[in-house]
Structure 1
């Protein structure tokens, strides 16, 4: 049995393990055959995809995703990154979030209050890069542990926090909440929409007048929010946080 391409399920979705010694063209044929044979098993599943075993360019990654989409009905929600340094940052962020959650639970128990757990979590975490054509939708807030590339899109009823580079389209407060906000470590979006208010990046202008982000400034975390009917982007600092209404 040829194990040059192995498909395995994991906690995030599916992992495609590839033999680094086999040519990429051969691997593509094998991937096509493997996923064609297992198409009925996956049905219309929405899964994160992990490509492992060899270094791939963005073009090669897209070719593989196109093959999978062509022969199956899988909805690839994101492509999982394997940057070790970034993984450590992600793990710490998730651990901090879980620690805060546990503290809140203990406080509620001591005070003797009954807390109704919502069917939909207040915030979700997604690890991976959203590439062109991929859409991530949630009825809560979302923390994206990765990048949103040009052509990628996020739609959330709550807030959107990108622990990476934001260069795609973001729609926060999709349920009409103008208090929603967007935070990114590197804020260079094609479009930001909060509730019914839209701010776009002009391809012909080096400076985004609406977003007030200069393209040549050093990269630093920024926050986008609504004020008096307009979307503004500012440095992510303590004084800005004090004005946020959750």
Structure 2
């Protein structure tokens, strides 16, 4: 059973290596045994996970995530894509996310925000999903979106110009930091010019977009 699943740690979480030549049911059983033995080590941890060795369907990923969380109490922040470019983007966001959590400055929202949904937070917030058109996020701290931003966001509400907004893709309907609102046309143009995940910050009384990773 040991050869079916191998757990490997990394800087931002863990990698689950799986045997590609056995039925998925055997993999799931091996995962239960592996994580039951290691439950004390992982208890209440927050991390990202990557799956390697075999291609999983979305349903199989969900099953493994549920199995791991129920067995150990681990909070899985997101799944790291094994594509090299995507991994670099996600790693940067996850490391920032974990830093916020360790400082107890933030909270998580899991799921996509859809039209007419409003999410408000007294502290920084990390959204594991998209902010779709018509949705709105207001935070007194930073806003980190591990997904695409198309709706409206207001970080540093209402007078904190040191706050920032991060998203994998950024084409917001409205974007504010502190008491400053970005011009939609400028933000849209800058977003097209910046590859990968983006961070919006205030500099000299104006909001700018920069790449999150070098």
Do both proteins adopt the same fold according to a TM-score greater than 0.5, normalized to the shorter chain?
Answer: yes
Mapping of residues 18-57 of structure 1, within 5 Å = 18-57=18-57
TM-score of the pair, normalised by structure 1: 0.50
Contact 1:158 1:180 in 2 (8 A): yes
Is 2:176 the counterpart of 1:225?
yes
* Distance of 1:154 and 1:54 partners within structure 2: 40
Please provide the CA RMSD for this pair.
4.7
Match of 1:132 among 81, 100, 111: 111
Find the counterpart in structure 1 of residue 199 from structure 2. Answer: none
Instruction: Give the superposition deviation at 1:51.
Output: 1.1
Summarize deviations over 1:97-153 as a string: whole Å, max 9, x none: xxxxxxxxxxxxxxxxxxxxxxx89xxxxxxxx9639xxx9x7899xxxx94249x9
Find the counterpart in structure 2 of residue 165 from structure 1. Answer: 148
Structure 2 vs 1, CA of residues 168 and 34 (structure 1 numbering), >3 Å: closer, same or farther?
A: farther
User: Structure 2: any 5+ residue segments left out of the alignment?
Assistant: 94-98, 101-108, 113-120, 132-136, 194-201, 209-214
Q: Secondary structure of the residue that 1:235 maps to in structure 2?
A: helix
Number of residue pairs matched? 170
* Distance of 1:169 and 1:245 partners within structure 2: 15
Instruction: Give the superposition deviation at 1:231.
Output: 8.2
Structure 2 vs 1, CA of residues 82 and 235 (structure 1 numbering), >3 Å: closer, same or farther?
A: same
Contact 1:15 1:51 in 2 (8 A): yes
Q: Secondary structure of the residue that 2:49 maps to in structure 1?
A: strand
User: Structure 1: any 5+ residue segments left out of the alignment?
Assistant: 95-119, 122-129, 190-210, 213-223
Please tell me whether Structure 1 or Structure 2 has the larger radius of gyration of its CA atoms: 1
Is 2:206 the counterpart of 1:244?
yes
Instruction: Give the superposition deviation at 1:13.
Output: 1.6
TM-score of the pair, normalised by structure 2: 0.56
